[in-house]
Amino acid sequence: MEGARAAGVAAAVEVARQVLAGGGDALDAAEAAAVFLEEDPAFNAGTGACLNAEGEVEADASVMASDGRSGAVAALRGVRNPIRAARRVMERTDHVLLAGEGAARFAAEEGLPTADLVTAESRRRYREMCTALESGGAGEGLRHLARGRDLARRAAARARTGDLGGTIGAVVRDDRGLLAAATSTGGMWMKLPGRVGDSAVIGAGTYAAPWGAASATGHGEGILRLGLTRRCVDLMRELGAQEACRRAMDEATSGGVECGIIAVDGRGGTGDATNGWMPTARWTG
């Protein structure tokens, strides 16, 4: 899948570039890139996202701009583009985060398109994982699963499916100096229903300030404990994006957290780092 993901990231950058060229700001561009990747089944976000222990997609997403505006959704089912729902929370409510059924109702009231986000490939992968659990094996992608295994075994009789992919993120600086970050994911395979990871949490999976913006991927529980993107952005008060990413990743590695991060600083410099979670595909322009 690596070639497909690289092509998807390159195309998403071009989508964002066109938004900026057309007069959109950094937030518009970050959202557009995220929407494009949510609709690409090569990634673990939107269509084709991984499945929880009951064989359903529960999506987490968040957006933030460097002027402090932010919005997020968690454990959201049946909405085609969770990142759009996150932005609507930011723009149309007094809240930052809506979750579960309430988030779904809000998205419906906003007229956002619904969709079955489960693909044939994700159903196949889900069955593989159920088989691995029933036979006592861990299965690829289940390294961080522990107490949820019994539930996953019970869900095996109702198995539907899923494919390994990656959380998607976008960070943008526009020519007016606004910075923005957007992050979207289906979370981790076989997670307990209702589990929320870092991608829905401002300061964990997504963060932006006048001096930097960052988006993270990896083991959500660890990223939550670290407040990884807030830490990376704080480092950009004095450091460029690449050095801030490197230092944040060193701290994550010291804490035993597998993850990756992308960032842009207030001068337009970009950075990325990973400690083995997965390759970080990045294009800039």
User: CA–CA distance from 16 to each of 24, 25, 164, 178 (Å)?
Assistant: 9, 10, 25, 14
Query: Which amino acid, 259?
Result: C
Q: What is the residue range of 14's domain?
A: 2-117+163-205
The CA distance from 209 to 191, in Å, is 31
* 265 found inside a domain: no
Task: Give me the catalytic one of 167, 206, 217, 270.
Answer: 167
pLDDT of residue 245: 98
pLDDT tier at 3 (50, 70, 90 boundaries)?
confident
Average pLDDT (170-197) is: 95
- pLDDT, one tens digit per residue, over 46-97 is 998 988 888 899 999 999 999 999 999 999 999 999 999 999 999 999 999 9
* 155 found inside a domain: no
The answer to whether residue 187 scores a pLDDT higher than 80 is yes
Burial of 208 by CB count in 10 Å (0-12 exposed, 13-18 middle, 19+ buried)? buried
In the block, tokens 């529980």 appear at: 221
Per-chain mean pLDDT for the chain: 87
The CA distance from 232 to 244, in Å, is 6
* 9 found inside a domain: yes
Please tell me the least confidently modeled range out of 15-24, 95-104, 109-118, 144-153: 144-153
pLDDT of residue 278: 54
pLDDT tier at 39 (50, 70, 90 boundaries)?
very high
* 6 found inside a domain: yes
* 243 found inside a domain: no
* 275 found inside a domain: no
* 136 found inside a domain: no
Catalytic site includes residue 167: yes
The answer to whether residue 121 scores a pLDDT higher than 50 is yes
Give the number of domains in the chain.
1
Average pLDDT (233-249) is: 98
pLDDT of residue 142: 53
Is the CB of residue 36 less than 8 Å from the CB of residue 61? no
* 199 found inside a domain: yes
pLDDT tier at 165 (50, 70, 90 boundaries)?
low
- pLDDT, one tens digit per residue, over 262-276 is 999 999 999 999 997
